[in-house]
Chains A and B, each alone.
Chain A
Amino acid sequence: MIKKTFRIGNQHGIHARPAGQLVKIASRFKSSIYISKNGNEVNAKSIMGVLMLEAGYGSEVVVRVDGEDEFSAVEALQHLIEVEKFNEE
């Protein structure tokens, strides 16, 4: 099991489009993937769950991954959130 904290770097935070990208990437992995903010944890493969976090610009989210492909899953999510910043400003 891997647990990692990321900071949201795009201006509008995790709104619909970023949530869609996050869920899309999370769904590619077999591992169970959870994402939480302020102690509220949701399944990262669920759109509505991810949106519920209301993770705005500058907020911190914790990603918890458990499964055979957990390393590549965390890497992919980190890339999306911190490097690509959801391909938004």
Chain B
Amino acid sequence: MSEQKEIPFITVEDLYVNSHSRVGLQIINSKASFGRKIRERELHRSGLALSGFVDVFTYWRVQIMGNTEIGYLNTLPPEQCLNSVTTVLGFELPCIIITNNNVPPHELVEVADQNGITLFSTPLSTTTVIHHLSEYLDTVFAPKTIIHGSLVDVYGVGMLITGEAAIGKSELALDLIERGHQLVADDVVHITRLGMNRLEGAPSEVLKHHMEIRGLGIIDIRRMFGIRAIRGKKVIAIVVALEQFSEEREYERIGVDEKFIEILGVSLPLVELPILPGKNITVIAEVIAMNQKLRDLGENAAQEFNARLIEKMQGPGKH
């Protein structure tokens, strides 16, 4: 559908700045390793590496040292402690986060300074830090893509409208806005995969809630319709593909079998909608949204209707 755009890395500085509101990292020593790159969403608890077992040490990940690690280092005689941190910090670590306001032994700070590694401190517990940082890193490293289409929140259902250029995606979105629904993005939809099976759509920073209407030009939906007409992001629940009506093509008439489309490995329900003059696509789009809500609740009108019909036809005296 379109090319995948991945962010290959963030720097330690990005982590520090962007996670500030979640974990409030404090710099213990210096910004020495602020330029180092983080390429993975995983975090690593230094743990056993401190005891000298570094065979499977995932040193390239952000290192977390909690009560266990700092407690362990404090039990070691100074020389052994120095040995231990020298071994671990001899790797190209991006940075070390010390949790629970633990005070690092001076050997750790000294070796970190020598090797240019930033030490952070946070009052939060290890579990909490891992949780918040994972959430942030998940978003950063999540699979992303850009799709040509419009995303509208219709009765709370995130509806991605696709179709070839000039088929009327923006016009449908505009019509839906006029009827009280909310625009998320027009023309360019940035899609991020959340976890394994949710796709969230958002507008691009520059375009935001602007829209191009052929023959008129660029309009500002927020200014024109007000704050209630827009939405920052929305999880996509259904894809509506607008198509030029063709005599040759056969369209869905029953709806017992659902169609799906795959985006970033996530399967989404798909409705292919033929465009015909005089057909009220906007009302149909609203009905699609409502039908999807019913289906999400396990109610499939077509399937239930069919089950009743089959039962009735098999009843007595029906031949």
Write the residues of chain A forming the contact surface with B, with a CB cutoff of 8 angstroms. Answer: 12-17, 19-20, 23-24, 27, 47, 51, 54-59
Contacts and interface: CB of A to CB of B under 8 A. Distances in A.
Interface of B: 250, 253-254, 256-257, 302, 305-306, 309-310, 312-314, 318-319
B253 A15 contact: no
Given A15-B309, A47-B253, 12 more contacts: A12-B314, A15-B313, A16-B254, A16-B256, A16-B302, A17-B254, A17-B306, A20-B256, A51-B309, A57-B313, A57-B319, A58-B319
B239 to A, nearest CB: 22
A20 B318 CA distance: 21
B272 to A, nearest CB: 15
Given A16-B302, A16-B305, A23 B253 contact: yes
Nearest to A46: B253
B318 A24 contact: no
B310 A12 contact: yes
A57 B256 contact: no
Contacts of A24: 250, 253
Contacts of B310: 12-13, 15
A13 B313 contact: yes
Contacts of B314: 12-13, 56-57
B318 A59 contact: yes
A20 B253 CA distance: 7
B309 A20 contact: no
B313 A19 contact: no
In order of increasing CB-CB distance, the 9 nearest A-B pairs are A56-B313, A16-B306, A13-B313, A58-B319, A20-B254, A56-B318, A16-B254, A15-B310, A16-B256
Contacts of B257: 17
A51 to B, nearest CB: 6
A76 to B, nearest CB: 14
B43 to A, nearest CB: 51
Nearest to B315: A56
Nearest to A7: B319
B309 A16 contact: yes
A19 B254 contact: yes
Interface centre among A13, A16, A20, A55 (most CB of B within 10 A): A16
Nearest to B302: A16
Contacts of A58: 319
Contacts of B318: 54, 56, 59
A17 B302 CA distance: 10
